Amino acid sequence: MVFTVRTSGGNLRIVGESLVTGDRRILVQEGTYARYVPTGHLLYAWARRLLAVPFDLAGLEVTSDPFPIVEGINVSPMGAAQVSFSSLGWLVYLPSAVAGAARKLVWVIRKEPPSHWRPRHVVIWIPDSRQMVSALQFRIEGAKNDVGSMTCLVTSLTRLSFEADNFFPIWTADGKRVTFQSTKAGAEAEGLFWKSADGSETEELLVTSEHTLRPESWSRDNVLAFVDIDPITGWDIWVLPREGERKPLPYLRTAFDEVTPTFAPNGRWLVYASNESGRFEIYAQPFPGPGAKWQVSTEGGVEPVWARSGRELFYRTGDKMMALAVATSGQFAAGRPRVLFEEHYWRRDTPNRITYDVTPDWHSSERNVQLARRGTSGRPLRRLDSSILV
């Protein structure tokens, strides 16, 4: 068996292991997504290149230096290469230039033409409804995946991280700090860190684990909801209070996958997507509990996002953007989901990351906009009475 290992320092290595003897050894010091081909080579990706190295299958070792096969292939930040091979000798791959050009960040204002940016990753608004000009978060392209921020309409950049690999940035509820996943935590572990949004302070470690962790949402009471990817139970929801003992606690740990937990603006409810019914649906539960669970979606749903007022909830199902009225001040109540629009905009193959956001002034002005990356349909933007687009 040949597989990729990511070290605590963020290095990607290709490792081979004999299923008979259990002998394990490093085959390639810098590489990912290795595949054995019948020509007697190990093909793998590195720095957007596809390389080949002669490989002794019986001895489980490389026998010469690697050489390049294709330049400019698409490789994800986690090391997955968009490439495959056939037994007849054909190679198929997605060029990196095509992948990058296929996405645009679209900001649509109801009565104005859209503007465009080209960020690398997910977009999130600063959670401060008093600010008409908000900020975006994204990943800077380069050798390392660094978290940055950009102020809309000003396009000024502030680099927040300088070491290790850093992913999945989210804002705290007050908009003063950025929380992110990093490989800086130490040997055989990943951690969640936070740092002041203006870069004036060093990173502070919040929680670490042998599993992969992803920060998801902060409550107004300084409780972090995050996902722990357990090899036995799958994607589980944990919470980390910043008051008291500051110890991580399991919130939902089941045999199913629970992803994208998001706090209601009042902090009393948590919505998430779960596949417990056989497909992903949106659910709401009281926080910190106990209490009854509510199924919010009716025909599948992922990527739940609250309106800043707490009176409306959005989610996606296929190419449809859904919305429904909710009440969270007392007993939870939800209206019937309705389709805002249906269009082919970019979304992940797996529902473990939210790819859009709703502006803080959704109910307070006509500058009602939504952000996301556009898909590859090439169709023109449409203005909708619903005042929402991705």
Do 233 and 335 sit in the same domain of this protein? yes
- Per-residue pLDDT, 218: 95
Banded pLDDT at 99 (limits 50, 70, 90):
low
- Which has the higher per-residue pLDDT, 21 or 366? 21
The residues pairing with 95 across neighbouring beta strands, listed in sequence order, are: 73
- Nearest to 157, CA basis, from 142, 166, 147: 147
Which percentage of the chain shows pLDDT scores above 90?
32
Q: What are phi and psi of 101, to 5 degrees?
A: -80, -15
The 3-state DSSP class for residue 99 equals: helix
- State percent of the chain over pLDDT 70: 73
Q: Identify which of 270, 248, 247, 249 has the alpha carbon closest to the alpha carbon of residue 260.
A: 270
CB atoms within 10 A of CB 365: 11
Q: Are residues 225 and 161 in the same domain?
A: yes
Judged against a pLDDT cut of 70, whether residue 367 lies above it is answered with no
Mean pLDDT rounded to a whole number for the chain: 77
Which comes out higher in pLDDT, residue 297 or 357? Answer: 297
Give the CA distances from residue 274 to residues 214, 255, 277, in Å, rounded to whole numbers and listed in that order: 16, 11, 8
CATH classification of the domain holding 250: 2.120.10.30
148 and 241 in a common domain: yes
pLDDT at 339: 87
Instruction: Tell me the average pLDDT across 28-47.
Output: 90
The pLDDT of residue 119 = 38
Within a 13 Å sphere around the CA of 167, how many CA atoms are in the beta-carbon half?
14
Average pLDDT over residues 90-106: 70
What pLDDT shows up at residue 211?
85
Of 82, 97, 112, which one is at a domain's C-terminal end? 97
122, pLDDT greater than 50 = no
Cα distances (angstroms) measured from residue 304 to each of 185, 227, 232, 324: 29, 15, 25, 11
Answer with the residue of higher pLDDT: 99 or 95.
95
pLDDT, greater one: 146 or 378: 146
Question: Are 136 and 181 part of one and the same domain?
Answer: yes
* Structure-token match 């991280």, residue found: 161
- Which residues does 100 contact at the CB level (< 8 Å), separation at least 6? none
Lowest mean pLDDT among 98-107, 128-137, 327-336: 128-137
Give the separation between CA 54 and CA 211, rounded to whole angstroms: 33
Name the one residue in this structure whose structure tokens are 């909801």. Answer: 225
Q: How confident is the model at residue 316 (pLDDT cuts 50, 70, 90)?
A: very high
In whole angstroms, what separates CA 115 from the centre of its chain? Answer: 23
Range of the domain at 62: 2-97
Pair 80, 180 in one domain: no
Given a cut of 90, whether residue 163 has pLDDT beyond it is no
Whether 195 and 341 map to the same domain: the answer is yes
CA distance 26 to 14: 6
Same domain, 188 and 48: no
How much is the pLDDT for 366?
A: 32
233 and 350 assigned to the same domain:
yes
The answer to whether 260 and 351 have CB atoms below 8 angstroms apart is yes
Question: Can you read off the two tokens belonging to residue 44?
Answer: 């793998």
pLDDT value of position 336 = 92
How many Å separate Cα 14 from the centre of its chain?
Answer: 24
Residue 388 confidence (pLDDT): 36
* pLDDT tier at 8, thresholds 50, 70, 90: low
**Is residue 382 in a domain?**
no
Lowest model confidence (mean pLDDT) among 11-15, 51-55, 115-119, 198-202? 115-119
Query: Looking at the predicted structure, is the pLDDT value of residue 124 above 60?
Result: no
Tell whether the model's pLDDT for residue 222 goes beyond 80: yes
Look at residues 42, 72, 97 and tell me which one is the last residue of a structural domain: 97
Beta bridge partners of 71: 49
Average pLDDT (316-328) is 90
State in Å, rounded, how far the first CA of the chain is from the last one.
Answer: 42
Asked, for residue 389, whether it belongs to a domain, the answer is: no
pLDDT recorded at residue 3: 93
pLDDT in tens, 43-68: 999 888 899 999 998 888 899 999 99
> Does residue 321 contact residue 346 with C-beta atoms inside 8 Å?
no
pLDDT tens per residue across span 369-381: 333 333 333 333 3
More confident residue, 126 or 26: 26
Cβ(97)–Cβ(365) under 8 Å? Answer: no
Q: How many domains does the chain have?
A: 2
Q: What are the residues facing 61 on neighbouring strands? A: 56
Flag whether 354 is in a domain. yes
Neighbouring C-beta atoms of residue 208, cutoff 10 Å: 17
Tens-digit pLDDT profile for residues 347-366: 776 788 888 887 765 433 33
